[in-house]
Chains A and B, each alone.
Chain A
């Protein structure tokens, strides 16, 4: 059974760096054809894909946020970390991590999400 759970601060100040951790079970990020992605959702708004890391350490980022995002993985600890620098109130959102199947190109399992508020 695949499960994912996001963790991190619920409140960050403008200009600070956000660090979110996705801890997962039921699969290994060393298995070919697997990835973990991050998607966010501002309150009352639509979903927005942010980043994806593959089993082979390849990664992809949303171009408009590329300079602010870093995604890494620790295969031995079954976790993926997303950092976002220079946070702004517009980054207030629920942040989700999700399991990605490369051959089917689908986010098939999602974490419960974590709400991050950016405010001074």
Chain B
């Protein structure tokens, strides 16, 4: 199985801050990397696919980059509705695997 790690596991930030979350795969996954956002009590929501492709309707303050084993999710200016847990997920091969999540909360 391809193992996914994320850092940090949690962070505290203020509205307007720039936030960067890192995801690392245990082997190269090309750009088969998705990011999703999950708010408490809700289902995950896909934000970015193929490492950098923003889903329709997702604000442009979200961006993704990377290839191979190292990826980043950036929120350019954190908004109140962005406080949530973020997961990366590799779709290079089954079993698809998710990272452990990064919880973003209010400083």
Contacts and interface: CB of A to CB of B under 8 A. Distances in A.
Q: Is the interface of B mostly helix, strand, loop or mixed?
A: loop
Given A108-B46, A108-B55, A46 B101 contact: yes
Interface residues of B, number: 25
A19 B87 CA distance: 27
A70 B93 CA distance: 19
Contacts of B49: 104-106, 108
B52 interface: no
Interface residues of A, number: 20
Interface string A32-69: 00000100000000111100100000001111000000
A110 interface: yes
A66 to B, nearest CB: 10
Given A47-B87, A104-B49, A104-B50, A112 B98 contact: no
Nearest to A49: B96
A79 B50 CA distance: 28
In the complex, which of the residues A62, A96, A106 has the most CB atoms of chain B within 10 Å of its own CB atom? A106
Contacts of A14: none
Contact of B95 (A62, A96, A106): A62
Interface of A: 37, 46-49, 52, 60-63, 96, 104-108, 110-113
Interface of B: 1, 32, 34, 36, 42-46, 49-50, 53, 55, 87, 89, 91-92, 94-101
* A-B pairs, 7 with minimum CB distance: A105-B91, A110-B43, A49-B96, A106-B49, A47-B98, A60-B94, A62-B95
